[in-house]
A = this chain, B = another copy of it.
Amino acid sequence: MTWSNAKNKELQERARKVIPRGMYGHESTILLPDEYPQFFSRARGARLWDVDGNEYIDFMCAYGPNLMGYGFEPVEAAAAAQQALGDAMTGPSEAIVVLAETLVGMVDHAGWAMFCKNGTDATTMAIVAARAQTRRRKILAATGAYHGAAPWCTPRPAGTLPEDRAHVVYYQYNDADSLEAAFKAHEGDVAGVIATPFLHETFKDEALPERAFATAARELCDRHGALLILDEVRAGFRLARGSSWSDLGVRPDLSAWGKCIANGHPISALLGSDTARKGAEAIFVTGSFWFAATPMAAAIETLRHIREGDYLERTVAAGRRLREGLQQQAAAHGFTLRQTGPAQMPQILFEDDPDLRLGYAWVTEAMKRGVYLHPYHNMFLSRAHGLDDIAIALAATDDAFAAVKKRRDVLAPHPIVAQMLAPH
């Protein structure tokens, strides 16, 4: 084994001087195992190289943006061609119209589109548009669901004020009664309900949406004149080639998209039905780079591959193979895994592992063997994850299970994580 991290450590030291805490946000390794690399130098297909040259099969896909494989040639070619003509200009290019038409053609509820940069932009625009449309205040959101990092929704409230979420009301995901109770408690003042296609919280098992819950959400919104907002930022186009709730027969009024829609190029989107157009027309939202043409050209090409390619079947097949292999390995080594969520967006936690020390040790062993797994966040598979990659990954995870089994009695938890997860 030649894994090393000298260059990474040197960069971390430099970073600590000029970046608060050395890094911030979801790509900070502060809650990851100590030896996880913070800095990467290259990515291609399903592979990732850190700054020390260690190569990984990457099961995070940039936390979502990588859908077709890193550096997917057709998308890169479309982006480069547009970049040579113009990106951020004094107005948008034709691409914004083509892209809006494309999404309207692919997502059943959509009659229009607006583009932005962050997933948080799209979810925030959704709640502002819902309030403008209904002239009401309350947004019902599921407890623990992540909708971005703006003051109204950031999971760590430091620097935010009670007023920022004074009109956000919480319900329990998959619990129609709690949703109905929230509507009742704020009769006549509910602007919208926001929900992710399935529940994908960090540090917890994932939960698929129950049809009764999705149907009740739609029905309650209709009955009370509120708008249903689907937050597709993380899951969009990973479950279906259109709206994630199509197979449940539920159409939202607004949906927020981002991450993978341009295979890594920076763009997000708010889509809406024609009944939800009035609110979107009333609000003022903008950003310096929101009209830039290059990510739109990349999105148009990515969406073509979403429609015409086999990425969905491939990610499901690879995810299932991984899941089955891990289940067998865990059993053989005397562990029990909780593998939840869609196979192509898996969450993997260990049973009987309250402070996650087993999981942290296992992903560390796998990482050092060239497989980048995440110990508390759902993972992602891309079209580039072939069954051959899964086989290589499984060989490494098998060794990782064996290594953890051997060290089981001397494992210590990650200090911050242990504190976070300790019973209060």
- Would A128 and B112 be within 8 Å (CB), given that A19-B97, A41-B85, A288-B65 are in contact? no
Partner of A18, one of B100, B130, B268: B100
Quote the shortest CB–CB distance from A8 to chain B (angstroms).
10
Of the four ranges (under 10, 10 to 19, 20 to 34, 35 or more), the interface on chain A belongs to 35 or more
List B contacts of A64 (CB < 8 A): 288
Contacts of A26 in B (CB 8 A): 286
Q: Which residue of B lies closest to A105 (CB)?
A: B18
* Known contacts A41-B85, A42-B86, A166-B163; A280 and B14 CB within 8 A of each other: no
Q: Binary interface profile of A, 153-178, with partner B (CB < 8 Å = 1, else 0)?
A: 01110111101101100000000000
- Interface 1/0 per residue, A86-127 and B, CB below 8 Å: 111111111011001100100000011110011111001001
C-alpha gap A159/B351 in the complex (Å): 45
Q: Give the CA-CA distance A201 to B130 in the complex, in Å.
A: 29
Known: A20-B112, A112-B18. A88 touches B62 (CB 8 A): yes
Q: Which residues of B contact A159 (CB under 8 A)?
A: 127-133, 279, 282-283
Q: How far is the CA of A14 from the CA of B94 in the complex (A)?
A: 10
**A423 interface residue (CB < 8 Å to B):** no
With A51-B94, A86-B41, A90-B48: A287-B117 Cβ-Cβ less than 8 Å: yes
CB pair B25–A286 under 8 Å, yes or no, is yes
Distance in Å: Cβ of A236 to nearest Cβ of chain B? 12
A391 within 8 A of B: no
Q: How far is the CA of A87 from the CA of B94 in the complex (A)?
A: 25
- Determine if A341 is an interface residue (Cβ-Cβ < 8 Å): no
Q: Is the CB of A43 within 8 A of B264?
A: no
User: Closest approach, in angstroms, between the C-beta of A9 and any C-beta of chain B?
Assistant: 12
A39 at the interface (CB under 8 A from B): yes
Given A80-B80, A88-B264, A112-B18, is A161 in contact with B149 using a C-beta cutoff of 8 Å?
Answer: no
Q: List 22 A–B pairs whose Cβ atoms lie within 8 Å, in order of A's numbering.
A: A14-B97, A15-B96, A20-B112, A25-B284, A38-B91, A38-B92, A39-B93, A43-B85, A43-B86, A43-B89, A60-B90, A65-B88, A76-B83, A80-B80, A88-B265, A118-B118, A118-B288, A128-B159, A156-B282, A158-B282, A163-B163, A266-B288
Interface residues of A (CB under 8 A from B): 11, 14-15, 17-21, 23-27, 29, 37-44, 48, 50-51, 58, 60-66, 70-71, 76, 79-80, 83-94, 96-97, 100-101, 104, 111-114, 117-121, 124, 127-133, 137, 149-152, 154-156, 158-161, 163-164, 166-167, 233, 258-259, 264-266, 268, 272, 277, 279-292, 295, 372
